[in-house]
Structure formats: structure tokens, C-alpha cells
Amino acid sequence: MLRLQNVVKTYGGKSAVTALAGIDLTVTGGEMVAIMGPSGSGKSTLLNLLGGLDVPTSGSILVAGTDLADKGEKERSMFRRTTISYIFQAYHLMPTLKVSQNVALPLHLAGESSAEVSRRVAQALKDVGLEGRSSHLPDELSGGERQRVAIARALVTGAPLLLADEPTGNLDTARGEEILNLLRAIHRERGTTIAMVTHDHHAASACDRLIRLRDGRVEGDGPVAGGGR
């Protein structure tokens, strides 16, 4: 699903920052991978490159067989719509749109018919246990519920790759656990490949494999002790 070869990412001009200093990595379809590392080690940069939100300075990134490094912005955005979905620590919902409208957004962008949109939105909300909340605004929901809306929005396109940047970072332990269980269920039932950045060892232990970054390099890579619960 993911193959990175000698991926380097530097930011800026004169006083350039090397965010990634040569990453080699392969993630097989259907894996659930945690990415950990100190602040500034390159986790978000890596996730943004995997998601085609940015391009590497050098090296190659294959996502589902497509090389993102040599694609333009427009092509990457087309590719993202069908293949990649994202969830973030801060949910990133549109505050003026109802829950159902938030979940429907990626389908509207993909040009789906309104009947198909309604059907798939209803199913996605059911899958995350929020079928009763479709007419609410994000403000009217708890943090855990908002993250479940974001997960429904991620699920609704059927993308095979889900990228998550600190998805439990704003939640208390119990709510975080619900989100991890949901991600785990999605992974198990749909075979979705999941890459999740986290600070939290407990969150990492929901995954099968742990990749540790330090100073823009892979410092460790292996199975999670007691992982894949």
C-alpha cells in the first residue's frame, strides 16, 4: 500500500530545516501502524507526504502503486479523493454544516448523486453509532462524538488508506478508547490500511506495528508488544 524510498523533506531556504532525512518504509495493504516520536521528529511531515498533501524534496513515495512525488497538485487531489482519508486531532469539521452535511462533503466533491450521498451518509453515521445526530451542528456534540463524525466522513468514500494525526489527542481516556476501538473495527471489518501518529503508548498498542521516528529518520520498526487488541 505504501512504499517510501530515501524520502527527504526540507523546508525553507537559507536556514533550511530537514524534517525527514531519508526514510525507507513499506506498509502492506491491511496493516494498522502507529507512528511515534518526539515533537519535531517529522511525524506530521511524514503523514502529509503519505496523504499527498505535500511532495518530498527527493525520494519516491508510492501509494497504492501511484508515485505521488512526480504528480502535480491537481492530480494528487484527484488521487486523494478516492484513495486516502484523513482524521485529525482537532476534528476539522465545518462548524456551520450539520453532521450529515459534513459527512457528505467528500461525496459531493466526488460528484455522487444525492440519492447515493444520502444512502452512504446514513450508513457511515450508523457505522460510528451516530445515526441519531445527523441534524446536529458540530458545536452541539462532545469531543468524542465530533471525532466519530470525522471518522464517518473518512469512511464514507470507502478509501483504502486512512491517515490519522493524533486522533485521540483531545479526548479523555474513555472517549479515546472508544475511538481506538472504532478504528480497530474499521481495520478488521474493511481491511482499511491505517497509519496513526500518536504520543500515547496505549493508543499505539491498538496497532499491530510501531514505527519510531527521531530526527527525521526511522529509529525503530517492529510489532507492538501486546498490540492489536
Ligand X SMILES: Nc1ncnc2c1ncn2[C@@H]1O[C@H](COP(=O)(O)OP(=O)(O)O)[C@@H](O)[C@H]1O
Site string for ligand X, 33-72 (x = CB under 6 A): ----x-xxxxxxx---------------------------
Q: How many residues bind ligand X (CB under 6 A)?
A: 12
Residue 9's H or E segment, with its range, is strand 2-11
Amino acid at 33: V
Cβ-proximal residues to 126 (8 Å cutoff; 6+ apart), any chain: none
Does 121 help bind ligand X (rule: CB under 6 A)? no
d(CA 141, CA 147): 10
Cα 95-80-93 angle, rounded to 5 deg: 10
**Out of Mg ion, ligand X, none, which partner does residue 80 contact, by CB within 5 to 8 A per kind?**
none
**Out of Mg ion, ligand X, none, which partner does residue 11 contact, by CB within 5 to 8 A per kind?**
ligand X
DSSP helix/strand/coil, 211: strand
| 8-state DSSP, 15 | T
Residue 66's H or E segment, with its range, is strand 66-67
What residue number has its CB nearest to Mg ion?
A: 44
Q: Which is nearer to Mg ion, 5 or 89 (CB)?
A: 89
**Out of Mg ion, ligand X, none, which partner does residue 132 contact, by CB within 5 to 8 A per kind?**
none
Which residues in 32-71 contact Mg ion (CB under 5 A)?
A: 43-44
Q: Which is nearer to Mg ion, 44 or 60 (CB)?
A: 44
Buried b (16+ CB within 10 A) or exposed e, 193-213: bbbbbbebeebbbbbbbbbbb
Q: Which is nearer to ligand X, 138 or 216 (CB)?
A: 216
We find the least distance from the C-beta atom of residue 158 to ligand X, in angstroms, to be: 28
Contacting range for ligand X; rule: CB under 6 A; set: 11-19, 72-80, 106-114, 171-179: 11-19
Does 155 help bind ligand X (rule: CB under 6 A)? no
Alpha-carbon torsion 153, 124, 77, 26, what sign? positive
Q: Which is nearer to ligand X, 42 or 106 (CB)?
A: 42
Does 205 help bind ligand X (rule: CB under 6 A)? no
With CA atoms as reference, report the closest residue to 227 among 213, 210, 211, 206.
206
DSSP 86-137: EEETT----TTS-HHHHHHHHHHHTT--HHHHHHHHHHHHHHTT-GGGTTS-
Q: Which of 2, 19, 34, 180 binds ligand X (CB under 6 A)?
A: 19
We find the least distance from the C-beta atom of residue 46 to ligand X, in angstroms, to be: 7
**Binding stretches for ligand X (CB under 6 A):** 11-12, 17, 19, 37, 39-45
**Binding stretches for Mg ion (CB under 5 A):** 43-44
